[in-house]
Each structure stands twice: as structure tokens, then as C-alpha cells.
Amino acid sequence: MDSVVLSGVSKSYNGRFILKDVNLSVDKGDFITVFGPNGSGKSTLLNIIAGIIKPDKGKILIEGRPSKEQIIGYAFQNYRDSLLPWRTNLENIGFPLEIKGVSKLKIENEVKKFLKRLNVRLPLDKYPYQSSGGEQQLVAILREVISCPKIILMDEPFSAIDMEGRAYIRIKIQEIWCEMGIAIIFVTHDISEAIQLGSKLLIIDGKTLGIKETVSINFKRPRTEDLLLSSSFVKFRKNLIWKMRN
């Protein structure tokens, strides 16, 4: 069964369509990147899938059920605002378990076991403000993943992180995705990032009012920063940019 199915989804603001008659199928384990200019409807698409925004028409099903009936992970660009500053990194990651009524001792054990499984090292006893931008965003992502959602939505999550932190977290998110097998839809304004991370790339141009094209990306993983300097990557990126302009 597909993880996510959108059928004939449309959304308008003040009489102007942002998305119109959008159809999309996301398979379980897909890593979908979404690229397009500002105002083209990328974030609107994510918010409709999450159930935050109601479409004017159309249907969204996640494993055959409405969004509100499923567990969905959502990693935002403003990760600092999404973390609880009075809680340690461990407590932030384990917060979804706390909501489920899991005891404090079991949460600590579960979080440590979970991070060991994913080969992630973090200063768990520190607070978000004591951690780097990359560590904070990783904490925010792990908090969404630990509850095993049906899908994870990410809205330009790395854009506020410095270059070194971004390179590290791009590798970690691929490792987490490979280990967990959860479908991801990842919005970015960085075409190189879209190619590096995605198994499929959705191009949204704002004129089509939806998905202009879907491109399969078949570079071997893990896709490190070295890939971005390879001739095959540069050629792929160049051809893709040419295609988007024509």
C-alpha cells in the first residue's frame, strides 16, 4: 500500500489557486524531495498532507486513512522554536513517549537504545541552547522519528544550519531513513540538496499549480558531500536545471 495518496487536491487563497488538481503517490520508504521557487506551494503541499491546512477539494490518505488518524512527523525550519528549552536533549527526544504515559526511567533507556541503533551521538544531558544548530535540528528530527510515524514531513529543515553542520546532518538523515524505512517528503530551496537526498525529486514551478515533473535519482548511497563534486552529479544537476528552465 502507498504511504501517501493525494487525489485531485486543490488549494486557493483569495481566489488564486496555489495548487490545482494535484495527484501524488508516495511509496513506503520513499525519500521525496520537493524543489521550487518561493510561493510555488511547497509548504502548502506539506501542510495539506499533515492535515494542518484543509484543501478546497480533493482527498489525502495515509495508508488508507485520513491524516488526522495517523501519526505524522513534521520537522520545521525553525527547529529552535520547536524544541522545549527547559528540557534536556534527551527529554526533548523522549517527549512523544512521555505523552503516551511511558515512565521517565523507561524513556531514558528507550532514547539511549534508539540512538545507539541509529549510531547517533548527542550531548543528551545538555539543553538545546547549549547545543549546536546541527545538534538541535537532529534532536528535533529524532523526536519526530522515535514514535515511528507513517511519514515524516520536512520543510527546509537545514537552511538555518551552518555549512559544516548541514553536511553532517545530511548524512545522518540518510542513515536514519535507511534504518527506519519511513517515507520522507522533504522541501528544499537547494537543488543540490534535493538531488543528494532524494530518491525522487518533485519539481514545482508555480505556473503548473502543482507537480511539473517527477525525476528519479539513482546515485548510490550514502551520498556524501564528495558526490556533489563528481562529474556525474554536476552533469545531472546541469541537465536538470536546463530542463526546469525550458
Give the CATH number for residue 165: 3.40.50.300
pLDDT at 2: 61
pLDDT at 68: 85
pLDDT at 196: 96
Residue 231, in any domain of the structure: no
Q: How far apart are CA 102 and CA 206, in angstroms?
A: 45
Q: Is the pLDDT of residue 55 over 70?
A: yes
Do 52 and 168 belong together in one domain? yes
Q: Is the pLDDT of residue 79 over 80?
A: no
Do 212 and 93 belong together in one domain? no
Q: Is the pLDDT of residue 86 over 90?
A: yes
The last residue of a domain, from among 130, 148, 166: 148
Mean pLDDT, residues 55-60: 95
* Choice between 56 and 78, residue whose per-residue pLDDT is larger: 56
60 pLDDT band, cuts 50/70/90, is very high
pLDDT at 168: 87
89 pLDDT band, cuts 50/70/90, is very high
Residue 238, in any domain of the structure: no
Residue 42, in any domain of the structure: yes
Q: How far apart are CA 18 and CA 9, in angstroms?
A: 11
Q: Is the pLDDT of residue 246 over 80?
A: no
Do 22 and 48 belong together in one domain? yes
Residue 233, in any domain of the structure: no
Q: Is the pLDDT of residue 97 over 80?
A: yes
Do 113 and 176 belong together in one domain? no
Mean pLDDT, residues 100-112: 94
Residue 45, in any domain of the structure: yes
Do 91 and 30 belong together in one domain? no
Q: 198 and 186 in contact (C-beta within 8 Å)?
A: yes
Do 15 and 117 belong together in one domain? no
Residue 77, in any domain of the structure: no
Do 105 and 155 belong together in one domain? no
Mean pLDDT of the chain: 91
pLDDT at 112: 96
pLDDT at 238: 95
Q: Is the pLDDT of residue 178 over 70?
A: yes
Q: 200 and 215 in contact (C-beta within 8 Å)?
A: yes
For 6-53, write each residue's pLDDT tens digit: 999 999 998 899 999 999 999 989 999 999 888 889 999 999 999 999
Do 141 and 161 belong together in one domain? no
For the entire predicted model, the pTM comes to 0.92
Say how many domains are in the chain. Answer: 2
Residue 23, in any domain of the structure: yes
Q: How far apart are CA 96 and CA 88, in angstroms?
A: 14
The last residue of a domain, from among 121, 148, 175: 148
Do 140 and 170 belong together in one domain? no
Is residue 168 within a helix (H) or strand (E), and if so which, with residue range?
helix 163-180
Do 12 and 117 belong together in one domain? no
Q: Which domain holds residue 27?
A: 1-70+150-217
Largest CA distance in the chain: 58
Do 162 and 44 belong together in one domain? yes
The last residue of a domain, from among 132, 148, 164: 148
DSSP secondary structure string for all residues of 40-73: SSHHHHHHHHHTSS--SEEEEEETTB-GGGS-EE
Mean pLDDT, residues 208-235: 93
Mean pLDDT, residues 210-222: 93
Q: Is the pLDDT of residue 1 over 80?
A: no
